[in-house]
């Protein structure tokens, strides 16, 4: 028997409304000060960031710092991400099991709770994922998540706590779970209020886009009230079947080689299938499958508000797993539990190394612009071309050029 999971793209992207972004950019330059269309941004912004709409950055799977806290003593320990003792801390404090009654993933240690720090207006948790002094001194970019984008936005005039915010969340939980939805609602309201009642522009990365989809589906009125634009980066709208399937079936080891030291090894997962007498259902937990079917329906029902500005950036030029196969005709899988101890064989397509391009661009929405960038899944958050598009869509790239006495024509596609 061969156990195989095929990734299939079910929803093709809708036709691109503006095939020539350079024309749009030229019109925006000439008439930026007069155009009131919300999709093109304003002509300029004040240096203190008071004349720009607030931005909320939302991370994806594994893109938020997680702290472990003893309920009695209140002392917090960073358990994700950390370069040292990652396996040990995971075994002691993070190992969790799905509760089908509540829908939550709960820690097996009843005395421990997992928290996401909200320091620096939510930006700390998604900035440098291992903010230890050693990592900062070495400038170890593998753990620099939204750091470069935060710096770029600050230089464009955004001010932390007034027009720039972050939303890190417990990515172990379902994208539609109440706690995450309420947390996002609270963050949107706070950004709206701090900026003087302005609507919020969301920039999401990876699975953070699916979180936004769930929120838009379940709380459409709140979304319409508080959100102005959504810039979606590297979102697996139709899944990332190869990578994610293997990670969830056989362990949380998302990467190989040196980078794997930041995560939890495949072997650790096998060691912990029996925790203090409690059995964990791996690799196939059918209760989770039932919940996932409900989540898929929530995502399917998501609709953009009328006149809403949606933008999509996705990565290309990297071999990306499309489907995964365990076993072979000559050496078949006899028992499903053998999958945990099997190495996968992938077929590859173009993408960012994690999300296939065909999946990332299949948003199904009427996008203002949909752009492919040659960048990896995490590298897209540090890419200069991505920054140019973000600045353009936010309307802040004009701030540097507003003092020019002669008009210039810039091709945004270069």
Cα gap 301→226, rounded to integer Å:
20
Task: Check the CA dihedral 70-71-73-77 and report its sign.
Answer: positive
Backbone angles phi and psi of 31, in degrees to 5: -120, 15
Element (H, E) at 251: none
Tokens describing residue 138: 């070495």
Is 352 tagged catalytic? yes
Helix (H, G, I), strand (E, B) or coil at 399: helix
Strands 164-167 vs 55-58: parallel, antiparallel or unpaired: parallel
- Indicate which residue of 53, 130, 170, 352 is catalytic: 352
Tokens describing residue 212: 């936004």
Strand partners, 350: 319
Backbone angles phi and psi of 196, in degrees to 5: 85, 25
- Indicate which residue of 206, 217, 247, 376 is catalytic: 206
Q: Are 331 and 2 in contact (CB under 8 A)?
A: no
DSSP sequence for 87-120: HHHIIIII-EEE-TTT--EEES-TTEEEE---GG
- What's the start-to-end Cα distance of the chain, in Å? 50
Q: Are 129 and 88 in contact (CB under 8 A)?
A: no
Q: What is the DSSP letter of 410?
A: -
Is 350 tagged catalytic? no
Residues annotated catalytic, as ranges: 206, 352, 377
């Amino acid at each position: 028997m061969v156990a195989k999971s095929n990734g299939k793209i079910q929803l093709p992207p809708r036709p691109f409304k503006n095939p020539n972004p350079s024309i749009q950019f030229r019109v925006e330059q000439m008439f930026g000060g007069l155009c009131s269309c919300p999709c093109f941004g304003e002509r300029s912004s004040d240096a203190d960031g008071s004349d720009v709409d607030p931005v909320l950055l939302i991370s994806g799977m594994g893109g938020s710092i997680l702290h472990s806290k003893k309920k009695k003593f209140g002392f917090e320990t960073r358990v994700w991400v950390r370069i040292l003792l990652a396996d040990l801390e995971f075994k002691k404090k993070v190992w969790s099991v799905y509760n089908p009654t509540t829908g939550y993933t709960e820690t097996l240690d009843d005395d421990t709770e997992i928290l996401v720090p909200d320091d620096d207006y939510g930006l700390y948790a998604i900035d440098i994922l291992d903010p230890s002094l050693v990592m900062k001194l070495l400038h170890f970019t593998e753990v620099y998540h939204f750091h470069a984008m935060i710096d770029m936005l600050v230089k464009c005039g955004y001010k932390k706590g007034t027009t720039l915010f972050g939303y890190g969340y417990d990515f172990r939980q379902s994208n539609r779970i109440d706690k995450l939805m309420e947390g996002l609602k609270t963050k949107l309201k706070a950004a709206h209020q701090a900026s003087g009642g302005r609507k919020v522009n969301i920039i999401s990365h990876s699975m953070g886009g699916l979180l936004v989809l769930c929120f838009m589906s379940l709380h459409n009125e709140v979304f319409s009230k508080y959100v102005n634009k959504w810039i979606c980066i590297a979102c697996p709208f139709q899944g990332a079947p190869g990578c994610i399937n293997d990670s969830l079936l056989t362990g949380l080891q998302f990467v190989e080689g040196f980078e794997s030291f930041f995560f939890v090894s495949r072997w650790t997962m096998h060691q912990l299938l029996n925790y203090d007498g409690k059995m964990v259902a791996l690799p196939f937990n059918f209760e989770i499958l039932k919940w996932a079917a409900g989540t898929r329906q929530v995502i399917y029902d998501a609709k953009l508000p009328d006149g809403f500005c949606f933008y999509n950036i996705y990565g290309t030029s990297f071999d990306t797993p499309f489907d995964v196969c365990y076993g072979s005709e000559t050496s078949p899988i006899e028992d499903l539990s053998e999958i945990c101890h099997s190495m996968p064989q992938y077929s590859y397509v173009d993408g960012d190394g994690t999300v296939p391009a065909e999946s990332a661009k299949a948003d199904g929405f009427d996008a203002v612009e949909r752009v492919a960038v040659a960048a990896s899944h995490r590298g897209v958050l540090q890419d200069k071309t991505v920054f140019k598009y973000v600045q353009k869509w936010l309307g802040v790239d004009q701030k540097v050029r507003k003092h020019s006495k002669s008009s210039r024509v810039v091709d945004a596609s270069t």
